[in-house]
Amino acid sequence: MSDLLERLRQRGWRLTSQRRVVAEVLDGDHVHLTADEVHARAARLLPEISRATVYNALGELVSLGEVVEVSTDGRAKRYDPNAHRPHQHLICSGCGIIRDVHPTGDPLAGLPDEGRFGFRVSGVEVTYRGLCPGCAQGPSSGS
């Protein structure tokens, strides 16, 4: 479970009602919503919230390093509140759903010293791609 709201309180980020709603929408396990999805969910909680307010809040959260933008193959950016726990992403190439995964082992182990071209590697991003169960099953034949 994400601890986004608690992190924002500790940082002293001014939690206006609009910012709080955006943070509440993002706060959760396996949440990787697009800005439009954040706006739609936020509007259910606070009908007067504007799309611009949601975009501004997301931009601030990304700038603060409390939310990570995840881009996938030309699709809309998604926002990941799990910014402080090391993890990788599993992305469905059909519907675009994203799940956090926590593989074991050192991701740098697969990159031998001679393959680093002298780089001092400071981070690793691994993305796993495939089809989620719904997309792998395909359209039902009973229609």
What gap in Å lies between CA 4 and CA 8, rounded to an integer?
6
Six token digits for residue 141: 């034949």
Q: Report the pLDDT value the prediction gives residue 30, as an integer from 0 to 100.
A: 67
pLDDT in tens, 31-62: 799 999 999 999 999 999 999 999 999 999 99
For β-strands 88-92 and 98-101, DSSP reports them as antiparallel
**Mean pLDDT for the stretch of residues 61-84:** 88
Six token digits for residue 115: 């393959």
What gap in Å lies between CA 83 and CA 123, rounded to an integer?
14
Domains in the chain with CATH codes = 4-80 (1.10.10.10), 88-135 (3.30.1490.190)
